[in-house]
């Protein structure tokens, strides 16, 4: 397949940068593999490949486009399938919804992969950090994230951020600002636990934008807009798994991570915010009883969820997903 990517609209250190699908480009003039946020909307690139027999788009952001405050972007998110034969998305609920409302079978769920050259490898790594979180505070409604940031300083912690949305009381917890992704990985491999959430926390304006979509109630990802949340697979837990760090997720109603990893075997949930400190303490003080979990997840991920495996499966038409 020919690999096509428009890098515009991506921040310089985004996860797409490290997937390096370009190394698999065989110069095909019949099959094109688009990836990157802007690639599926770039009319020039789409027109240049319109006569290709098979056009594929890998989309790692859904359901973000559906709540955009830009009406044009929302419309494009709904019609992007018109330009491709197959679309692979990290939101299984939106994949089913898009297929249903358009009456086709183009959308197929796929995890956000990781480039195996950036995996931690098999050499032993000393776990000198109890718990790590990286990210920002999305908005004032992201109480789960605020609680994570307030809880981890009770342990030997690392908190990397760009600072977006942080209130003044949270900055003392920061241990690194604007840290490059490769440096984050170099730190992450020394952490026992990565705590995070696979939720999007919406503003009232974003909720209303989503509700402006036709047939929005049929998308299971939008089932709890009254609570202003949506599911979204984050890259953080994937990156943690490829660094043999135990993933501790805030439990959410969708359990979207369960589609690719098994709770209790490959990662752990904590149910309530008030449980977080107790669960972290239980893990880090009894590490020998838990260290098999990130090992399990790492083995599964290296077999199934690398960028090369995803690309080759899509190339062969073998990437399948059965909805629960």
pLDDT tens digits, 83-122: 999 999 999 999 999 999 999 999 999 999 999 999 999 9
Residue whose pair of structure tokens reads 């009894």 in the numeric block: 286
What pLDDT does residue 323 have? Answer: 38
User: For 220, which DSSP code?
Assistant: G
User: Are residues 268 and 122 part of one domain?
Assistant: yes
Query: Is there a cis peptide before residue 143, judged by omega within 30 degrees of 0?
Result: no
User: Are residues 10 and 152 part of one domain?
Assistant: no
User: Are residues 173 and 97 part of one domain?
Assistant: no
- pLDDT, the chain, mean: 94
User: Are residues 238 and 163 part of one domain?
Assistant: yes
Question: How far is residue 114's CA from residue 308's CA, in Å, rounded to a whole number?
Answer: 9
Taking 90 as the threshold, does the pLDDT of residue 318 lie above it? Answer: no
Provide the whole-model pTM. 0.94
User: Are residues 127 and 29 part of one domain?
Assistant: no
User: Are residues 59 and 22 part of one domain?
Assistant: yes
Taking 70 as the threshold, does the pLDDT of residue 200 lie above it? Answer: yes
- Asked, for residue 166, whether it belongs to a domain, the answer is yes
pLDDT mean over 196-202: 95
CATH number of the domain within which 291 lies: 3.40.50.2000
- Asked, for residue 283, whether it belongs to a domain, the answer is yes
User: Are residues 20 and 54 part of one domain?
Assistant: yes
User: Are residues 127 and 48 part of one domain?
Assistant: no
Taking 50 as the threshold, does the pLDDT of residue 324 lie above it? Answer: no
Contact 55, 84 (CB under 8 A): yes
The domain of 267 spans 117-198+233-303
Q: Which tokens in the block code for residue 228?
A: 């202003």
The neighbouring-strand residues paired with 193 are 131, 246
Per-residue pLDDT tens digits for 257-301 = 999 999 999 999 999 999 999 999 999 999 999 999 999 999 999
Query: How many domains, the chain?
Result: 2
Q: Which residue has the higher pLDDT, 305 or 140?
A: 305
């Amino acid at each position: 397949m020919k690999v096509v990517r428009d890098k515009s609209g991506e921040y310089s250190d985004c996860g797409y940068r490290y997937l390096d699908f370009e190394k698999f480009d065989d110069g095909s003039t019949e099959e094109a593999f688009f990836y990157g946020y802007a690639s599926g909307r770039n009319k020039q690139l789409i027109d240049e490949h319109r006569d290709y027999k098979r056009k594929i788009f890998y989309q790692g952001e859904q359901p973000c486009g559906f709540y955009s405050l830009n009406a044009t972007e929302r419309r494009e998110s709904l019609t992007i399938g018109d330009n491709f034969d197959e679309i692979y998305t990290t939101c299984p609920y939106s994949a089913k919804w898009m297929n249903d409302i358009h009456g086709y079978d183009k959308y197929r769920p796929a995890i956000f992969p990781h480039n195996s050259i950036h995996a931690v490898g098999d050499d032993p790594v000393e776990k000198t950090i109890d718990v790590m979180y990286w990210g920002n505070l999305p908005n004032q409604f992201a109480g789960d994230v605020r609680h994570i940031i307030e809880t981890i300083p009770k342990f030997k912690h690392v908190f990397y951020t760009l600072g977006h949305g942080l209130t003044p009381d949270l900055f003392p917890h920061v241990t690194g600002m604007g840290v490059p992704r490769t440096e984050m990985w170099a730190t992450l491999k020394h952490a026992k636990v990565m705590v995070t959430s696979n939720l999007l926390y919406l503003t009232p304006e974003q909720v209303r934008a989503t509700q402006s979509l036709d047939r929005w109630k049929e998308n299971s990802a939008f089932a709890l807009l009254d609570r202003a949340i949506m599911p979204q697979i984050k890259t953080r837990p994937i990156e943690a798994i490829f660094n043999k760090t135990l993933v501790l997720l805030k439990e959410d109603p969708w359990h979207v991570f369960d589609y690719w990893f098994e709770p209790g075997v490959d990662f752990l949930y904590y149910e309530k915010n008030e449980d977080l400190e107790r669960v972290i303490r239980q893990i880090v003080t009894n590490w020998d009883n838990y260290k098999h979990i990130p090992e399990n997840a790492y083995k599964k991920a290296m077999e199934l969820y690398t960028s090369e495996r995803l690309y080759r499966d899509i190339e062969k038409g073998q990437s399948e997903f059965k909805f629960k």
